Structure 1
């Protein structure tokens, strides 16, 4: 008998279901207050473990687990989880203590992780565990997430500066001049830290909801995420750490396309003015950046190039008055 089977048998032998009984009993209390005299009221039941005393249930599936039978069932189960979050987490922790089957361990651990959240807390005093491992200068969650985004932008700027040795010697001064213009622009917008800051008032300027939920925008060659990845780094410490693995992916690649094209534009400008703001947009703004889960980050060659019509500024035409 393998671990999964033993685990299922052990859970089925328990007299009281640890997880669902919490949700069901609380829901039963609420519904009993609305029951009609003389008529039994049976709330919908969805088991995660063994069957508890109550009304008839759907036929159990593999390992004795009764699965939700419809969308409303799942919706009710989710509602129960949310309304009795603390009790469900405690029950899951008790089950996890004796659990040996890897698959069930994973399910329980994920459940505990997803429900052990303090999303609305913002200040360090309200969620000290979230700040474990961070520098003491960070006093609230938004300031750290803003700093995290700023650090990425600074990293991109370092890569642009690091390309100087590859620029033609005759064009290096002009290239450095453009770097200075970009740096000033970045400073003026505070390194676009607003992208990760849930307190940003302008909704279009941030990549998350007001509660801090981020959604994967999908690979560079898709309009959306096929797996519907999402994360809230404001919720708990583990999510904060995992969010660091998400990428701000350049659709037109930074190293393969944008930076080399900028260097070439400076070299061959021949009196023309390089449209540095176009390159700035490609390097540091959402015009060319997508937030993606690590599984959606394709490191293959994107085979995309800069718009040749936007590399140089259009010259102003002058007309002589005769």
Structure 2
């Protein structure tokens, strides 16, 4: 109920850094500030009050429109309040509230019927119930459900997961080289493939990208295991700020399998065709195999991308023609042009 001028009415008031609310009765802003500062032990000079819901400042005129028991925030000089969303920020900024948040979210979820709200609460719970600090199978048995017994740590399994993705790219290259019809060209292709295969074996199939125990320069994730979407092939970063920690829970581990190690210059449409074309009239010794290796299997050309940011259409990016052949081959071409 909106009160009339001069009539004391009840309000709920709190300070910026304390979520406890107190009842205060006041007939105008001046009285509200005086009683509120006294109750919360805050300096009256420069104090002001605003709506808890959206941060609107309560002026003398606006005060008269307030309903009984409106929730307010009392602020000291230079303090600001952006609305209820600030509470969320403060809660998430400290681990001390995690247990309370989990309990509150579960309580809300049990009686919530809105699909959208349920989705938000489920996502919140998945991230709050983070067990990423646990590494071994005996520490987090739930995380390892469905994972072969030979994997004793989360890092070992995710390293293997990355290796598998890289190996699949190698199989595609292998299949393409074996499909070459001309016997002489196929021999050169197979020799080139074998050389690239050896490079990959020496780098242990770059499984380090998903292994949080590796040095920072070698992994894509943080030391805690957080991965951030690097955006689609034509972007410098993810506009949606997608992130995930597959080390945190079994569900996150499974969802992470839908993220892509995407080739900016496409594997099937550009890299492998350029590789085969270069070997049509040249030996494997003439080809810059290191360039093709880096384009196929390293972060020179790979981006970790959330499934939503993965663009499946043609990228229309080509291999650099100046890097396909070794330097001596480039020099021969220049000489012929002269």
Q: Give the SS at the match of 1:57.
A: strand
Matched, 1:274 2:277: no
Query: Paired residue for 2:228?
Result: 215
Please state how far the C-alpha of 1:158 moved relative to its aligned partner: 0.2
1:194 corresponds to which of 195, 198, 208: 208
> Deviations 1:261-306 (Å, cap 9, x if unpaired)?
1011111217971111110010000101011111111111111111
1:184 alignment partner, one of 198, 209, 214: 198
Indicate if the aligned counterparts of 1:216 and 1:228 stay in contact, CA closer than 8 A: yes
What is aligned with 2:165? 152
How many residues align? The count is 271
- Residue 313 to residue 187, structure 1, CA distance change in 2 (3 Å): same
1:233 corresponds to 2:246 = yes
Q: Which residues of structure 1 form unaligned runs of 5+?
A: 1-23, 29-37, 48-54, 60-66
Q: What displacement does 1:184 show?
A: 1.1
Residue 155 (structure 2) aligned to one of 129, 132, 142: 142
Instruction: Spell out the pairing of 1:9-24 with structure 2 (5 A cutoff).
Output: none
Match of 2:260 in 1: 247
Q: In the alignment, what sits opposite 2:99?
A: 86
Q: How far did 1:40 drift?
A: 3.0
The equivalences for 1:1-322 within 5 A come to 39-41=38-40, 57-58=71-72, 69=83, 73-79=87-93, 82-169=95-182, 170-201=184-215, 203-269=216-282, 273-315=286-328
1:98 Cα deviation from its structure 2 partner? 2.5
Rg larger for: 2
Partner of 1:310, secondary structure, is coil
Shift of residue 204, structure 1, vs aligned partner: 1.6
Matched-pair contact (CA < 8 Å) for 2:132–2:247? yes
1:199–1:210 contact (8 Å) kept in structure 2: yes
Name stretches of at least 5 consecutive residues in structure 2 with no aligned partner: 1-15, 21-36, 43-49, 54-68, 74-80, 333-338
The answer on whether the counterparts of 1:46 and 1:77 sit within 8 Å (CA) in structure 2 is no
Per-residue deviation, 1:73: 4.3
User: What displacement does 1:186 show?
Assistant: 0.9
Cα pair 1:168 1:267 within 8 Å, conserved: no
| 1:120 to 1:171, Cα distance in 2 relative to 1, 3 A | same
Over the aligned positions, Cα root-mean-square deviation in angstroms equals 3.1
Task: Please state which structure has a larger fraction of its residues in strand.
Answer: 2
- Residue by residue, what CA displacement relative to the aligned partner does 1:165-202 show, whole Å, maximum 9, x if unpaired? 4424121011111111111111111110110111002x
